């Protein structure tokens, strides 16, 4: 079994969604939301498909509708036991820090929601390492998944000081020729800290770079890690599956 711990399965992205899901028969997907609308979609998918779990939340660049009322709507969806985390949430200063206070406020409120329901958080952080670290330092005991990790080895070490059990979502970027920084991080990390992901429909791995990504492509990331770590593909699958089951408390039938 292989688990894609972070993919987006919105209808707008996949006219052939049934086919995309069928490609993962016998494997598991954790569908991620980035606003209230996609959170509803994730909720529906988890109820329709046995092998789909979900995380819900407001992405830092999707906060137009974030307020106390929509946060309460998000909380209602947590009655669904196949919603296994809050995410993707976090900070994104790529286009500037004009809304940094709003982003930090939304991030903290959603972390506190996760704590209330004893759920892990799935973190999006881009060009915001310092503020991300400062916030996470206040919550060392919550389960954290640094989705699509893109910072340096030094930042990874700081994150591991906050929480030695921190998970790092590793996807197709690892296979890119220019991903020297991420390769250094993966070489350093213990396998117990690694989760597989695709971030579909984005960031398709080599040899499919430039095409629309899908969860079935998780295998290419697993193969790349196996070669880097000089271990078998089956061992990568086994360890990362165990990591995902533990991280998200998956009740796999």
Q: Which residue has the tokens 């998956």?
A: 250
Q: What's the maximum distance between 2 C-alpha atoms anywhere in the chain?
A: 50
CA distance 202 to 223: 19
- pLDDT for 252: 85
pTM of the model: 0.97
Distance from C-alpha of 70 to C-alpha of 83, rounded to nearest angstrom:
17
Q: What is the pLDDT of residue 96?
A: 87
**pLDDT by residue (tens digit) across 162-204?**
999 999 999 999 999 999 999 999 999 999 999 999 999 999 9
Residue of 74, 66, 75, 144 whose CA lies nearest to 101: 66
- Residues 121-126 have a mean pLDDT of 98
Distances in Å between the alpha carbon of 179 and those of 50, 176, 182, 228? 35, 5, 6, 13
86: pLDDT strictly greater than 90: yes
**Distance between CA 207 and CA 60 in Å, rounded?**
31
What's the pLDDT tens digit per position in 36-61? Answer: 999 999 999 999 999 999 999 999 99
SS3 call for 246:
helix
Average pLDDT, the chain: 97
What integer pLDDT is reported at residue 22 of this predicted model?
A: 97
- What band does 79 get if pLDDT is binned at 50, 70 and 90? very high
The residues pairing with 90 across neighbouring beta strands, listed in sequence order, are 124
Rounded CA-CA distance 193/169 in Å is 9
For tokens 């899901």, name the residue: 21
């Amino acid at each position: 079994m292989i688990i894609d711990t972070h993919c987006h399965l919105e209808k707008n992205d996949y006219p052939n969604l049934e086919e995309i899901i069928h490609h993962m028969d016998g494997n598991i997907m954790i569908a991620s939301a980035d606003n209230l609308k996609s959170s509803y979609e994730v909720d529906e998918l988890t109820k329709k498909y046995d092998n789909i779990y979900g995380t819900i939340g407001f992405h830092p660049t999707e906060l137009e509708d974030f307020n106390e009322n929509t946060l309460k709507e998000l909380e209602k969806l947590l009655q669904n036991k196949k919603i296994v985390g809050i995410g993707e949430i976090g900070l994104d200063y790529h286009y500037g820090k004009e809304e940094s206070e709003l982003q930090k406020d939304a991030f903290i409120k959603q972390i506190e929601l996760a704590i209330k329901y004893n759920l892990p958080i799935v973190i999006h952080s881009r060009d915001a390492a310092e503020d991300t670290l400062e916030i996470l330092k206040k919550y060392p005991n919550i389960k954290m998944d640094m989705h699509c990790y893109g910072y340096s080895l030094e930042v990874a070490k700081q994150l591991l000081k906050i929480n030695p059990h921190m998970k790092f979502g590793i996807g197709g970027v690892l296979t890119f020729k220019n991903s020297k920084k991420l390769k250094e991080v993966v070489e350093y990390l213990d396998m117990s800290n690694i989760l597989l992901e695709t971030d579909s429909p984005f960031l398709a791995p080599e040899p499919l770079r430039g095409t629309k990504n899908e969860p079935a492509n998780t295998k290419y990331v697993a193969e790349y890690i196996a070669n880097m770590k000089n271990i078998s593909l089956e061992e990568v699958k086994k360890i990362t599956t165990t990591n995902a089951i533990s991280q998200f408390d998956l009740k796999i039938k």
